[in-house]
């Protein structure tokens, strides 16, 4: 059940439609782009709907309870109910906030995570656009999240929010460095920045980069958890210290945007881990997109598992861990890879 024939069919239909209407051929491409963007957006919403429910169920079972049970079969409608509630909430803008920045912060946050989905290879031939600098594009576009958190923290006119914003900026900027370095090892071996090329370099199970770059994978996973601000690195929103961190003053849909972006980021880092280290869509028997989703879901499960098991690090320990442990290890990994896999 590969999806490529379906896309080809849509493609030919669109072209014939455009020709029938007598419009230039670039119009068909434009339509395709819009269609792809809408499809990704829908997919993103579906993913978040599922992830929120799944995390609540998982955390429930980790903690010897059931999690949501009342809304639908095993509470699968819970996220929809929560979303509806957030839609109805009054959109409170506190006095003395910087209104423009306050408004745009969640938008920037959501947009940057959403934009990164453009180069995620969902399956064989199922990729919105195969940029030849795919991984570089993801690494740079997700950095916008930092700006949005700083915007939210700064504009809220609240000490807790400011502390939270500053903390997360410091954290994400720091962890970006080992993250990028760990990815470099893979790029050195494939000699390409394209996501599709990276997946195609991992034909069999034994050529997955997790075997050839084990240290790189470990560094990536740790840095990715820190990137998504999840426990044990959830300093920016440490509720025992900062109540809620940068998003303390947000309510209603603006809060929902941050929430969406948080879970999109979780999916994103797991999808990148799958693509770079776990062979992406490669796998026997099952269709490629299913393999991709299964592997990504597994990585997400591991990250959620971290969250519900570990205590939180302190902010200075977090920085020390990044600069004194992760970064030297990442350089070491880079040097070893350089020696072992001289092209």
Partner 1 sequence: MNEATPSQYSEEFEVNMGPQHPSTHGVLRLMLRMNGENIVRATPYIGYLHRAIEKICENRTYAQCIPLLDRFEYVTSMASEEVFVLATERLAAVEVPERAEYLRVIMLEFNRIASHLIFLGTFSLDLGAITPFLYCLREREQIMDLFEMTSGQRLTYNYIRVGGVAYDIPEDFLPLARKFVDTFQHRIDDYEAILTQNPIFLARTKNVGIISKDIAVNYAASGPVLRASGVKWDLRRDDPYSIYDRFKFDIPTGTVGDTWDRYMVRVQEMRQSNEIVRQALDQLPQGDYKTKMKAVFKPPVGECYARIENARGEMGCHIISDGSTKPYRVKLRGGSFCHTQLIPAIAPGMMIADLVATFASLDVILPEVDR
Residues in the site for partner 1, rule: CB under 8 A? 59, 62-65, 159, 163, 231-232, 234, 238-241, 243, 308-317
Q: At 187, which helix (H) or strand (E)?
A: helix 159-190
Q: Least separation, in Å, of the C-beta of 96 and partner 1?
A: 17
Q: Least separation, in Å, of the C-beta of 317 and partner 1?
A: 5
Q: Which CB atom, from 62 or from 76, has the smaller least distance to partner 1? A: 62
The DSSP secondary-structure symbol of 163 reads: H
Q: Least separation, in Å, of the C-beta of 266 and partner 1?
A: 17
Contact indicator for 296, 276 with CB cutoff of 8 Å: no
Q: How far is CA 29 from CA 13, 33, 41, in A?
A: 12, 6, 18
Q: Distance between CA atoms of 184 and 326, rounded to whole angstroms?
A: 14
Contact indicator for 295, 274 with CB cutoff of 8 Å: yes
**Which residues lie below 8 Å from residue 44, measured CB to CB, with a gap of 6+?**
114, 117, 260, 264, 267
Q: Which CB atom, from 90 or from 316, has the smaller least distance to partner 1? A: 316
Q: Kindly tell me the sign of the dihedral angle through the C-alpha atoms of 49, 54, 55, 57.
A: positive
Q: Least separation, in Å, of the C-beta of 54 and partner 1?
A: 17
Q: Least separation, in Å, of the C-beta of 237 and partner 1?
A: 10
Q: Least separation, in Å, of the C-beta of 238 and partner 1?
A: 7
Contact indicator for 97, 251 with CB cutoff of 8 Å: no
State yes or no: cis peptide before 232, omega within 30 of 0.
yes
Q: Which CB atom, from 88 or from 316, has the smaller least distance to partner 1? A: 316
Q: Distance between CA atoms of 264 and 270, rounded to whole angstroms?
A: 10
Q: Which CB atom, from 85 or from 314, has the smaller least distance to partner 1? A: 314
Q: Which CB atom, from 124 or from 234, has the smaller least distance to partner 1? A: 234
Q: Which CB atom, from 128 or from 164, has the smaller least distance to partner 1? A: 164
């Amino acid at each position: 059940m590969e999806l490529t024939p379906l896309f080809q069919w849509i493609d030919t239909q669109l072209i014939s439609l455009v020709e029938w209407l007598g419009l230039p051929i670039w119009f068909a491409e434009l339509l395709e782009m819009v269609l792809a963007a809408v499809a990704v957006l829908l997919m993103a919403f579906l993913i978040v709907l599922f992830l929120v429910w799944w995390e609540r169920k998982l955390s429930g079972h980790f903690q010897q309870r059931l999690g949501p049970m009342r809304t639908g079969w095993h509470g699968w409608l819970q996220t929809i109910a929560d979303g509806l509630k957030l839609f109805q909430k009054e959109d409170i803008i506190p006095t003395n906030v910087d209104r423009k920045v306050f408004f745009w912060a969640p938008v920037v946050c959501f947009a940057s995570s959403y934009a990164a989905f453009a180069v995620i290879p969902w399956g064989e031939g199922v990729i919105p656009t195969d940029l030849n600098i795919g991984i570089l594009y993801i690494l740079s576009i997700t950095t916008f999240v930092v700006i949005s958190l700083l915007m939210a923290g700064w504009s809220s006119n609240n000490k807790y929010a400011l502390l939270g914003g500053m903390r997360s900026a410091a954290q994400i900027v720091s962890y970006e460095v080992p993250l990028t370095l760990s990815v470099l090892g893979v790029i050195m071996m494939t000699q390409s920045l394209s996501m599709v090329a990276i997946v195609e370099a991992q034909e069999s199970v034994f050529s997955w980069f997790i075997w050839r770059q084990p240290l790189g994978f470990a560094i990536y996973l740790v840095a990715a958890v820190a990137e998504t601000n999840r426990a044990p690195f959830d300093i920016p929103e440490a509720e025992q210290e900062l109540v809620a961190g940068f998003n303390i003053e947000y309510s209603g849909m603006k809060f929902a945007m941050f929430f969406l972006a948080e879970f999109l980021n979780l999916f994103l880092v797991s999808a990148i881990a799958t693509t770079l280290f776990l062979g992406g869509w490669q796998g026997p028997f099952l269709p490629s997109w299913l393999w991709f989703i299964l592997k990504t879901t597994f990585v997400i499960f591991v990250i959620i598992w971290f969250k519900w098991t570990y205590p939180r690090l302190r902010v200075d320990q977090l920085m020390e861990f990044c600069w004194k442990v992760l970064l030297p290890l990442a350089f070491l990994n880079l040097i070893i890879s350089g020696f072992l896999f001289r092209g």
